[in-house]
């Protein structure tokens, strides 16, 4: 599938911002299964300095530094991307989950690359309730992918998608308790749950194709940033992407921006500003199939 | 003790097993015993006094005094022994450098199975953004390194801890040496000791060379968290030794990919930053989002090669206690070498074999978090049975989170105690610097004397009793010194513009608060004189009322102060001003804070006067408003003391501080405050009730005006006893020769403003000149009036306008020069500040 992505972020400030530094994860990551055909960033006002490089996880990262007073800051990324995610293996072909955990724990040639994603992180900390919740999906000896699919489905069924009840600061333990939230919350819940069992799992940010209700037009700008889970199935099978918000294994309806230990590593637009007073934020996203 | 390991007798540093003196102690012991017990105790007191003087962090309100002391008996190390230690530590520094480059680079140590993942990723000082590619090269990450060493019963040295994040203590070591040389000169006569100063020269030179080659004059700065930090004094000393700027986070800004110091003249580039602040708080854009005191964009500037930050923010990684268990393998793997200088035996509980060995014999070990070297180790054998069971369960549950180290008793060295020489356990801290090609050890260091409890726990606080470490000088020629940078003749400069804006701001307020203190004391003294004596005239009551109103206007009265004019109520009000938590005490606190912040900018003499004076004043017992019977005598004495203190400070500033720079702002602050407060007080005393109808009622006000401006005698000399409004007003308002007149303050302010570097607001001097003209006009109008009293009655309002004009001028100066920055905030991340574990 081929998509055009358009993602606009606009900050409006009550008072002038004298100096602003921003770190962006807004350009899609090129991957064996994701070809980035074109991409561009439009930035207003023009930054005094722009740096494009890879971050520690290999994601495309843009640093912007604005040194003129401004009352608004707007970034629009536009990209054309072709996605063709390989089919996941048969569940039964994947190793038992305990073998995956052991491999990640040992590190070495096979597990070292994935091991980093088995440890608690700031926004996906160790959570005994999340780990206990996950344990049901991983009885002894179960092939890892079977367990992953099961957990993915359970979060999809047992947690309610509800915007506005959680914020960036809502901890996993509270989401476990409320059983509601948005994609970021479910992703962090699943990360805490899998890592508690010693399984490598990473936070993936990007976009998902949405379909309008039957008979209606797609509303412009109504799509959103999305987040889901990458989980490791061992050196032979690599990573599989699971979307607990929609209860699906990712195929060709998701576009990857970046991955990291949690949201904090790859926030689409992070910044520190001097001044500004109160601010308002507007985000609009369109993902159009081509 | 019932455990096997600690039952071994510690080694004695001075005496060998058969009771003989070890050879390298011989040149010391003669002079030491020659002095005798009395003289030694006296020398100890002298040393204590010097260090107490220098290590004064206690000037800060609420700060605990840091008991750093130096023992009169040094810790000698033979030349050959030190050479062996140095070789071992140089290798260790190379291993740690290679380890850091590896974990922040390709991480082959993980892929090759040398390091398990749980030793690397959960380390709180492993900072992911530090692995983004930037300039590489030897010594880029690790530049200064310290090792804690103990000598075991077998005579071999072992490393107790590696210090990479901060490596604090170099300046303390140098300070100890200087103090010892002053107090114990006879020790140095028999024994050639290697000097410490060349190490700092090498360091200074190295920092300069770290600047990018196209930088021109390198800008080098030492970054400190500020006066609240426990090691603030060490930072002040070190910046002085290394001849670099001492800066706080708020002094720095990143623009266009470069790091700059905010000064009066504008932004000045910083090419090399020696950081003494937790690495995680350096750049809130990429590191901890909750720590907004850092400098956003600093990591970007580092990657761009525009600034070198040493040590790198990520190097605290190497302080993880469990790494000691892996160092021999790391040395073999990365350098192909065998570790020369071992660690105190350390085992990581995540290793199955180690766990099987240790769990049955935990009483022989200290237990500590595997990755956090800042936590005090737990001595298992000393825990209660219940805590032992709990700890054992925690280790069994999460073995990878723990490491154990052997209970090796440190060697003991004689320290001067009340009963003469007392052997105490010693931990040695040695320092190494990367000189561009290899590592160089400081030929000296700190030998800290521990309590038995601290020795058992393997914990050595930095603020404690320490010995100066003496490395015997070798017979042959000294090492070649520093190859100096080509000498460029210095441009002669007399700038005031290089001053960091924050420092100018602090000097300005130091001036204002000193003057406020003086003004408050003067008002108090005048008010007290109206209360003393038994027969109080009606005139005294009127004047007292005016003075209390002045104190109120100067914001020196408590909000709920009794405003009655009865002797008792007035006395209570005055006592309240000087009470323990009263306004004067608050002013003294503010002054202490400023004095501490400016410590690196003041000469030792000025700082000592200031801090001594403030401590003395803060300690004066005055008694509160509730004290009975009302005894005003201590308050009168305190007032006198305040006035002699402020007079001494003014004199010292005039004679000892270079004009320009900080002095300009100190003076400016004084003038602004005196003008502002003076205009307010004059408006107040001229505002006598009923004076509009009966101008004679102005007389007490005129007399008070003369007293407030300390001008009674001058007036009497000029006009004998005749009181007339124009004559009084000329002396207190317009006479440019009277240092307490309003005109004097405004003239001085105008001249000081003219001496400052010009900024975006060239009208500041003009504003001062306008206020001056207005003041002169007021006096001229009064003089020309047919009825001077009637004219003078109208003055309070214009004087209040002049007062607010001066306040406005002060604000404009602040905006112009002090870079009042708006508040920083985080966007797009969860930015809650959190407590940081470990050391980075």
pLDDT at residue A35, as a whole number: 97
DSSP symbol at A29: P
pLDDT at residue B390, as a whole number: 96
Provide, as residue numbers in chain B, all residues whose Cβ is less than 8 Å from the Cβ of A123.
Answer: 830
* Other beta carbons within 10 Å of A222: 11
The mean pLDDT value of chain B amounts to 87
- B188 and B286 part of one domain: yes
* B773: helix, strand or coil: helix
Compute the Cα dihedral for B380, B383, B389, B391 and give only its sign.
negative
B118 and A105 within 8 Å at the Cβ level: the answer is yes
User: Looking at A138-142, B690-694, B805-809, which range is the least confident one?
Assistant: B690-694
Closest A-chain CA to B127: A56
- B145 and B217 part of one domain: yes
CA distance A222 to chain B (A): 20
* A70: helix, strand or coil: strand
**CA B66 remoteness from chain centre:** 12
The pLDDT-based confidence of B484 (bands split at 50, 70, 90) is very low
Residue in A65, A118, A271 nearest the CB of B828? A271
Provide, as residue numbers in chain B, all residues whose Cβ is less than 8 Å from the Cβ of A71.
Answer: none
Checking if the pLDDT of B485 tops 60, the result is: no
Cβ distance B804 to B771 under 8 Å? Answer: no
A65 and B300 within 8 Å at the Cβ level: the answer is yes
Domain count, chain B: 3
Cβ distance B768 to B753 under 8 Å? Answer: yes
Checking if the pLDDT of B480 tops 50, the result is: no
Alpha helix locations (H) across B619-709?
A: 633-656, 662-686, 699-708
B256 and A107 within 8 Å at the Cβ level: the answer is no
Residue in A48, A119, A274 nearest the CB of B824? A274
- In the structure encoding, which two tokens stand for residue B383, read together? 């825990």
pLDDT at residue B536, as a whole number: 63
**pLDDT average, residue stretch B661-690:** 91
Q: For residue range B715-726, what is the model confidence (pLDDT) as tens digits?
A: 998 888 788 999
Locus of tokens 């017992």 = B621
Share of residues in chain B with pLDDT > 90 (%): 55
Domain boundary, last residue among B623, B657, B691? B657
**pLDDT average, residue stretch B221-248:** 90
Share of residues in chain B with pLDDT > 70 (%): 91
- B335 and B414 part of one domain: yes
Provide, as residue numbers in chain A, all residues whose Cβ is less than 8 Å from the Cβ of B371.
Answer: none
d(CA A134, CA B27): 71
Domain boundary, last residue among B606, B641, B657? B657
Q: What pTM was computed for the model?
A: 0.86
- B32 and B177 part of one domain: yes
Query: What SS3 string covers B235-279?
Result: HHHHHHHCCCEEECHHHEEEECCEEEEEECCEEEECCEEEECCCH
Q: For residue range B374-430, what is the model confidence (pLDDT) as tens digits?
A: 888 999 999 999 999 999 999 999 999 999 999 999 999 999 988 889 999 999 999
- B55 and B113 part of one domain: yes
Cβ distance A219 to A212 under 8 Å? Answer: yes
User: Looking at A21-35, B163-177, B751-765, which range is the least confident one?
Assistant: B751-765
- B94 and B214 part of one domain: yes
**pLDDT average, residue stretch B44-48:** 92
**pLDDT average, residue stretch B492-498:** 57
pLDDT at residue B317, as a whole number: 97
pLDDT at residue B557, as a whole number: 81
Would residue B372 count as lying in a domain? no
Cα atoms in the Cβ-side hemisphere of radius 13 Å centred on A204: 23
**pLDDT average, residue stretch B582-604:** 85
Would residue B822 count as lying in a domain? yes
Provide, as residue numbers in chain B, all residues whose Cβ is less than 8 Å from the Cβ of A54.
Answer: 132-133
- B440 and B553 part of one domain: no
CA distance B172 to chain A (A): 37
Q: How far lies B728's CA from each of A188, B733, B784, B801, B802, in Å?
A: 78, 8, 14, 20, 18
Q: Which of B820, B825, B831 to mutate to test the interface with A (most CBs of A within 10 A)?
A: B825
pLDDT at residue A201, as a whole number: 97
Checking if the pLDDT of B476 tops 70, the result is: no
Domain boundary, last residue among B621, B638, B657? B657
Residue A128's Cβ-count burial label (10 Å; 0-12, 13-18, 19+) is exposed
Residue in B254, B285, B823 nearest the CB of A23? B285
Q: For residue range B625-650, what is the model confidence (pLDDT) as tens digits?
A: 555 667 788 888 889 999 999 999 98
pLDDT at residue B521, as a whole number: 92
**pLDDT average, residue stretch B814-826:** 77
User: Looking at B453-467, B598-612, B623-637, B742-756, which range is the least confident one?
Assistant: B623-637
Would residue B212 count as lying in a domain? yes
Cα atoms in the Cβ-side hemisphere of radius 13 Å centred on B821: 18
B285 and A270 within 8 Å at the Cβ level: the answer is yes
Would residue B13 count as lying in a domain? no
- B164 and B88 part of one domain: yes
d(CA A159, CA A148): 16
Interface ipTM > 0.90: yes
- B205 and B147 part of one domain: yes
Provide, as residue numbers in chain B, all residues whose Cβ is less than 8 Å from the Cβ of A65.
Answer: 254-257, 297, 300
**pLDDT average, residue stretch B441-464:** 87
Would residue B490 count as lying in a domain? no
| B760 or B542, which is more confident | B542
pLDDT at residue B92, as a whole number: 97
- B671 and B641 part of one domain: no
CA distance B114 to chain A (A): 8
pLDDT at residue B475, as a whole number: 57
CA distance A166 to chain B (A): 12
Low-confidence stretches of chain A (pLDDT < 50) are: none
- B753 and B800 part of one domain: yes
Judging by DSSP bridges, how do beta strands B365-369 and A279-289 pair with one another?
Answer: unpaired
Checking if the pLDDT of B68 tops 70, the result is: yes
d(CA A26, CA A55): 12
**pLDDT average, residue stretch B178-186:** 92
Q: Which of A10, A17, A21, A63 to mutate to test the interface with B (most CBs of B within 10 A)?
A: A21
Domain with B836 in it: 658-840
Would residue B478 count as lying in a domain? no
pLDDT at residue B2, as a whole number: 40
pLDDT at residue B464, as a whole number: 86
DSSP symbol at A250: -
Checking if the pLDDT of B61 tops 60, the result is: no
B254 and A48 within 8 Å at the Cβ level: the answer is no
Compute the Cα dihedral for B738, B742, B743, B744 and give only its sign.
positive
d(CA B733, CA B703): 14
- B645 and B715 part of one domain: no
B297 and A107 within 8 Å at the Cβ level: the answer is no
A274 and B129 within 8 Å at the Cβ level: the answer is no
The pLDDT-based confidence of B813 (bands split at 50, 70, 90) is confident
CA distance B107 to chain A (A): 9
| B228 or B512, which is more confident | B512
B827 and A106 within 8 Å at the Cβ level: the answer is no
A108 and B829 within 8 Å at the Cβ level: the answer is no
**pLDDT average, residue stretch B101-128:** 94
Would residue B246 count as lying in a domain? yes
CA distance A106 to chain B (A): 6
Q: How many CB pairs under 8 A join A and B?
A: 131
The pLDDT-based confidence of B6 (bands split at 50, 70, 90) is very low
Would residue B149 count as lying in a domain? yes
- In the structure encoding, which two tokens stand for residue B60, read together? 């800060």
pLDDT at residue B481, as a whole number: 47
Checking if the pLDDT of B349 tops 50, the result is: yes
B→A contacts (Cβ < 8 Å), by residue, are 107, 110-113, 115-118, 121-122, 128-129, 131-133, 253-257, 284-286, 289, 292, 296-297, 300, 303-304, 821-830, 832, 834
Locus of tokens 């930088």 = B215
Q: How far lies B588's CA from each of A247, B539, B611, B620, B782, in Å?
A: 65, 33, 10, 12, 39
Provide, as residue numbers in chain A, all residues whose Cβ is less than 8 Å from the Cβ of B284.
Answer: 272
């Amino acid at each position: 599938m081929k998509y055009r992505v358009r993602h606009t972020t606009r900050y409006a400030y009550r008072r002038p911002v004298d100096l602003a530094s921003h770190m962006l994860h807004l350009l899609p990551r090129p991957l064996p299964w994701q070809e980035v055909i074109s991409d561009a960033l439009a930035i207003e006002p023009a930054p005094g300095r722009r740096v494009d490089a890879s971050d520690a996880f290999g994601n495309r990262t843009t640093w912007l530094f604005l040194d003129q007073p401004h009352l608004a800051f707007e970034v629009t990324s536009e990209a054309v991307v072709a996605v063709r995610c390989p089919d996941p293996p048969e569940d039964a072909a994947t190793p038992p989950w305990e073998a995956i955990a052991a491999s990640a724990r040992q590190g070495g040639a096979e597990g070292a690359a994935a091991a980093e994603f088995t440890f608690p992180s700031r926004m996906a900390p160790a959570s005994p309730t999340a780990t206990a919740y996950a344990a049901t999906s991983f009885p002894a000896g179960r092939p890892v992918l079977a367990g992953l699919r099961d957990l993915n489905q359970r979060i999809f069924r047992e947690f309610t998608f509800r915007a506005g009840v959680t914020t960036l600061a809502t901890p996993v333990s509270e989401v476990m308790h409320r059983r509601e939230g948005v994609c970021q919350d479910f992703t962090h819940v699943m990360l805490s749950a899998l890592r508690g069992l010693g399984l490598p799992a990473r936070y993936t940010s990007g976009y998902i194709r949405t379909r309008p209700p039957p008979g209606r037009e797609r509303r412009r700008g109504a799509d959103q940033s999305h987040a889901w889970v990458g989980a490791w199935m061992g050196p032979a099978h690599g990573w599989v992407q699971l979307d607990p918000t929609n209860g699906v294994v990712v195929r060709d309806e998701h576009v990857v921006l970046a991955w990291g230990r949690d949201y904090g590593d790859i926030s689409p637009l992070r910044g520190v500003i001097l001044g500004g007073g109160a601010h308002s934020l507007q985000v609009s996203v369109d993902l159009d199939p081509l | 003790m019932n455990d096997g390991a600690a039952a071994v007798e510690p080694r004695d540093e001075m005496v060998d097993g058969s009771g003989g003196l070890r050879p390298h102690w011989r040149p010391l012991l003669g002079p030491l015993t020659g002095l005798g017990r009395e003289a030694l105790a006296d020398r100890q007191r002298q040393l204590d006094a010097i260090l107490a003087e220098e290590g004064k962090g206690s000037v800060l309100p609420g700060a605990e005094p840091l008991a750093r002391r130096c023992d009169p008996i040094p810790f000698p190390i033979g030349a050959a022994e030190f050479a062996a230690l140095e070789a071992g530590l140089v290798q260790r520094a190379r291993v740690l450098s290679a380890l850091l480059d590896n974990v922040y680079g390709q991480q082959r140590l993980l892929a090759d199975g040398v390091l398990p993942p749980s030793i690397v990723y959960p380390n709180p000082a492993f900072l992911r953004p530090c692995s983004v590619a930037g300039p590489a090269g030897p010594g880029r990450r690790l530049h200064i390194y310290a090792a804690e060493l103990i000598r075991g019963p077998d005579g071999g040295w072992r490393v107790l801890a590696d210090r990479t994040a901060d490596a604090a203590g170099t300046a303390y070591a140098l300070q100890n040496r200087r103090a010892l040389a002053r107090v114990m000169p006879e020790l140095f006569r028999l024994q050639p000791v290697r000097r410490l100063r060349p190490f700092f020269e090498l360091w200074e030179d190295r920092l300069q060379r770290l600047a990018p080659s196209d930088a021109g004059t390198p800008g080098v700065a030492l970054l400190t968290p500020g006066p609240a930090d426990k090691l603030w004094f060490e930072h002040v000393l070190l910046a002085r030794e290394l001849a670099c700027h001492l800066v706080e986070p708020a002094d720095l800004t990143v623009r266009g990919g470069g790091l700059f110091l905010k000064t009066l003249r504008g932004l000045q580039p910083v090419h090399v930053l020696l950081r003494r602040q937790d690495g995680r708080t350096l750049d809130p854009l990429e590191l901890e989002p909750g720590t907004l005191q850092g400098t956003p964009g600093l990591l970007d500037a580092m990657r761009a090669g525009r600034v070198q930050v040493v040590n790198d923010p990520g190097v605290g990684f190497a302080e993880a206690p469990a790494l000691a268990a892996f160092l021999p393998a790391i040395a073999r793997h990365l350098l192909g070498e065998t570790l020369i200088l071992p660690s105190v035996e350390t085992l990581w509980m995540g290793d199955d074999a180690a766990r099987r060995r240790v769990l049955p014999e935990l009483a022989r070990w200290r237990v500590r978090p595997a990755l956090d070297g800042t936590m005090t180790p737990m001595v298992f054998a000393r825990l209660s049975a219940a805590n032992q069971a709990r700890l054992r369960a925690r280790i069994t549950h999460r073995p990878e989170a723990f490491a154990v180290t052997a209970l090796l008793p440190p060697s003991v060295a004689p320290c001067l105690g009340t009963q003469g020489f007392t052997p105490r356990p010693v931990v040695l801290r040695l320092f190494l610097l990367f000189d561009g090609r290899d590592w160089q050890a400081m030929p000296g260091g700190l030998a800290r004397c521990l309590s038995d409890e601290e020795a058992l726990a393997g914990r050595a606080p930095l603020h404690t009793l320490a010995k100066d470490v003496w490395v015997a000088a070798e017979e042959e020629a000294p090492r070649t010194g520093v190859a100096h940078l080509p000498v460029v003749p210095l441009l002669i400069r007399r700038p005031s513009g290089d001053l960091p804006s924050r420092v100018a701001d602090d000097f300005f307020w130091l001036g204002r608060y000193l003057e406020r203190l003086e003004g408050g004391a003067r008002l108090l003294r005048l008010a007290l004189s109206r209360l003393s004596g038994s027969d109080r005239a009606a005139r005294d009551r009127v004047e007292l009322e005016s003075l209390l109103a002045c104190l109120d206007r100067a914001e020196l009265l408590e909000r709920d102060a009794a405003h009655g004019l009865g002797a008792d109520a007035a006395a209570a009000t005055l006592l309240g001003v000087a009470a323990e938590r009263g306004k004067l005490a608050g002013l003294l606190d503010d002054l202490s804070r400023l004095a501490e912040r400016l410590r690196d900018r003041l000469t030792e003499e000025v700082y000592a006067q200031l801090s001594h004076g403030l401590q003395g004043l803060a300690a004066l017992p005055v008694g509160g408003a509730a004290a009975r019977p009302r005894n005003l005598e201590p308050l009168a004495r305190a007032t006198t003391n305040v006035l002699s203190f402020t007079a001494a400070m003014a004199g010292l500033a005039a004679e000892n501080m270079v004009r320009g720079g900080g002095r300009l702002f100190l003076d400016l602050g004084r003038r602004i405050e005196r003008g502002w407060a003076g205009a307010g007080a004059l408006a107040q005393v001229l505002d006598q009730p009923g004076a509009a109808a009966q101008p004679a009622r102005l007389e007490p006000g005129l007399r008070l005006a003369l007293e407030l401006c300390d001008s009674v005698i001058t007036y009497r000399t000029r006009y004998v006893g005749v009181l007339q409004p124009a004559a009084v007003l000329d002396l207190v308002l317009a006479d440019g020769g009277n240092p307490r007149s309003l005109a004097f303050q405004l003239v001085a302010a105008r001249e000081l403003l003219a001496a400052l570097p010009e900024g975006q607001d060239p009208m500041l001097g003009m504003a001062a000149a306008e206020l001056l003209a207005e003041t002169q006009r007021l006096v001229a109008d009064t003089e020309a009036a047919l009825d001077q009293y009637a004219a003078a009655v109208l003055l309070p309002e214009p004087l209040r306008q002049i007062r607010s004009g001066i306040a406005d001028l002060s604000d404009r100066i602040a905006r112009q020069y002090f870079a009042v920055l708006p508040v920083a905030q985080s966007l797009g991340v969860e930015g809650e500040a959190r407590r940081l574990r470990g050391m980075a």
